[in-house]
Amino acid sequence: MNQLSDRINRLAESATLAMARKSREMTEQGLQVISLSLGEPDFDTPDFVKEAAKQAIDDNFSKYPPVNGYLDLRKAIAHKFERDNGLHYTPEQIVVSTGAKQSIANLILSLINPGDEVIIPAPYWVSYKAIINMAEGVAVEVPSSVEQDFKISKEQLEASITPKTRMLLFSSPCNPSGSVYSKADLRGFADVLKKHPNIICVSDEIYEHINFVGGHVSIGAFDDIFDQVVTVNGVSKAFAMTGWRIGYIGAPAWIAKACSKMQGQSTSGANTIAQKAAQAAVSADPASIHYMRDEFLKRRDMMLELLAEMPGVKTNLPEGAFYVFPDVSSFFGKTNGSVTINNAEDLSMYLLEEAHIALVTGDAFGAPACMRISYAASEAQLRQAMSRMKTALSQLKERS
């Protein structure tokens, strides 16, 4: 008898990875699928980062590293936090992990007991809720809409707090919406949080350098709540290093120590060669990677123009990351004669099967009226995908 744990049975498959898997299966069958489902830059890792990795191999960095990361890397990350974010962390407050996803899992598993509540503004990254569920916490979703630019207000945050609230978890720039919380927005959050010193704020800033509106703002830069904030970051998105699997946190020392303890009983230290590559990345002038941000901005503007040509598709103006997150609820209840679209899941499958485009339903992100489209692909692929999407959507009519 194959008996799985309740824990694994509660755990949903990642919707983004599931759609990527389906698109790969169709491609293997000879179909020309354009996948815009994964959050992965289509650039190559910068040469100076690859050279650092090659040097690390030659220098024989092949032994177990410290669980929380090499000291030189943690010093470089502390310097990066100071330089880019105005955050004053010591190397002892840094923990390096196998990707920012592990950083977030370490935090939730270290801080959340069964029944503890974690506030997650919706839309949110798919893994937030899954990891909270795995820890037997309660995800408290605070909704927003395209009309709100997919950002919650400080009043919504305050109203969602209960005696069981233990954590606020959000990303800015946001995956999936691309929305960016301004300094004024974050000051409002800080004013709420400082009234609740037992709430830890986890700020996911993995898209920090893909920001189209100027300087990035870290909520931890507000001194009056600094000790309540954990800043999560990594090298995957900004440096096109998704496969290198390096993320990190800056945290109060007691939280950093707990995360290191948690990690020590799961993966131990992150890959040694990848750590040395990450050290080169975080030590570099951020201007060295602005070419990627500038290209993403061009693609964003192109995507918004193409989506504006599709009646019924409603978008905001994403200010960062590399996603558009249109509201597609106007198509619910429509049909092409053989398929009826009841929700965003139906629409994503319709577009996959009829137009051979892989997108991700907004349900996975806590926004059932929407779909996520990644524009981390070439201009030619994006134009072709949007042409297919426009044709497929135009075939959907009201049921007679």
pLDDT, tens only, 291-306: 999 999 999 999 999 9
Residue 153, classified by CB atoms within 10 Å of its CB into exposed (0-12), middle (13-18) or buried (19+), is middle
The residue ranges of every structural domain in the chain are: 6-44+289-398, 47-285
Average pLDDT on 101-121 reads 98
Measured CA angle at 307 (ends 384, 312), to 5 deg: 125
Determine the CATH number of domain 6-44+289-398.
3.90.1150.10
Average pLDDT on 109-124 reads 98
Beta bridge partners of 370: 327
Number of Cβ atoms within 10 Å of the Cβ of 9: 8
What is the reported pTM?
Answer: 0.95
Locate 399 and state its tokens. Answer: 């049921």
Locate 109 and state its tokens. Answer: 């598993």
Sign of CA dihedral 100, 106, 108, 111: negative
So what's the pLDDT on residue 12?
A: 77
Determine the CATH number of domain 47-285.
3.40.640.10
Mean of the per-residue pLDDT values of the chain: 96
As a whole number of angstroms, the distance between CA 249 and CA 89 comes to: 10
CB 327 within 8 A of CB 145: yes
CB 48 within 8 A of CB 284: yes
pLDDT, tens only, 148-193: 999 999 999 999 999 999 999 999 999 999 999 999 999 999 999 9
Question: Do 6-44+289-398 and 47-285 fold alike per CATH?
Answer: no
As a whole number of angstroms, the distance between CA 18 and CA 245 comes to: 20
As a whole number of angstroms, the distance between CA 273 and CA 276 comes to: 5
**What is the percentage of the chain residues whose pLDDT exceeds 90?**
90
